[in-house]
């Protein structure tokens, strides 16, 4: 199957036009005319993912986080990020990225999070950019809901934003935004959320949230690893003979002990 035909089918589900302004989505390495037989789905493209792709003999990597986010000044093996691009190109492995558009699209990553967390009566969190989701849950304590989040997101630990360490607060309505969505907390509060789940919350933002009456859970940016099974299942539903492989490489740069 030609790469351009495979991409066209993916973009019928998740159009590039949904991406936030300036977000580098789409084909970043490779020729639209190349034939592909194997695609590797991953969250990030790091050294271990490139090694995995070469070892598996894939023709295409479909990643959430862009391989090339800022313009490259050179293309040599002297700088790590440039070497990733060079290694992929030299092995004829194409790269396609689906970043903020998979967050925004209906049936995308934020809807997937909402489904995993049992949210109902969903609405978009940020109407301006269509990011995040807000919805209701069965009333529960913060302690019990935190355990549900751990199980849903496959986490052993979570960073909670709460002054009350007994975690007895009742939770009825939550907001969720994959990735770094801390700036949207005032909208979550305005839409009635008791709790906001997003990653990369700064210390002082945590203070601001609590002063504003909003609790929080920060599962870490690696919460977006669920891009892999979500997109892999979508690709497997296409009418093609392309083999879809879910990356097994761990690209989480943080490790809790």
- Which is nearest to 176 in space by CA: 92, 121, 119, 108? 119
In whole angstroms, how far apart are CA 228 and each of 63, 129, 235? Answer: 8, 23, 11
Question: Which residues lie closer than 8 Å to 118 by C-beta, 6 or more apart?
Answer: 137, 138, 148
Q: How far apart are CA 173 and CA 27, in angstroms?
A: 38
Asked whether residue 103 is marked as a ligand-binding residue, the answer is yes
> Using CA atoms, how far apart are residues 21 and 18, in angstroms rounded to an integer?
9
The answer to whether 221 is a known ligand-binding residue is: yes
Distance of CA 6 to the CA centre of its chain: 21
Binding residues are 65, 103, 221, 224
Binding residues for a divalent metal cation are 65, 103, 221, 224
């Amino acid at each position: 199957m030609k790469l351009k035909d495979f991409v066209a089918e993916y973009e019928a589900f998740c159009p590039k036009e949904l991406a936030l302004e300036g977000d580098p989505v789409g084909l970043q390495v490779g020729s639209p005319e190349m034939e592909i037989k194997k695609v590797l789905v991953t969250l990030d493209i790091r050294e271990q993912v490139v090694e995995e792709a070469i070892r598996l003999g894939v023709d295409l990597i479909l990643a959430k986080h862009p391989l090339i986010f800022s313009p490259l000044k050179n293309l040599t093996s002297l700088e790590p990020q440039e070497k990733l691009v060079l290694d992929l190109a030299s092995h004829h492995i194409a790269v396609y990225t689906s970043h903020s558009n998979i967050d925004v699209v209906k049936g995308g990553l934020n809807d997937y999070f909402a489904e995993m967390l049992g949210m109902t009566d969903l609405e978009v969190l940020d109407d301006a950019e269509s990011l995040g989701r807000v919805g209701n849950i069965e009333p529960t304590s913060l302690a019990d809901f935190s355990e549900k989040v751990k199980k849903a997101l496959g986490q052993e630990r979570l960073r909670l934003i709460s002054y009350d360490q007994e975690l007895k607060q009742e939770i009825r309505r939550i907001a969720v935004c994959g990735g770094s969505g801390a700036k949207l907390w005032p909208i979550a509060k305005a839409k009635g959320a008791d709790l906001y789940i997003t990653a990369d919350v700064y210390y002082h933002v945590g203070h601001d949230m609590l002063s504003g009456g909003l609790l929080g859970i920060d599962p870490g940016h690696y919460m977006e690893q669920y891009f892999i099974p979500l997109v892999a299942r979508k690709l497997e539903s296409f009418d093609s003979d392309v083999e879809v492989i879910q990356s097994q490489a761990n690209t989480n740069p943080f490790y809790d002990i």
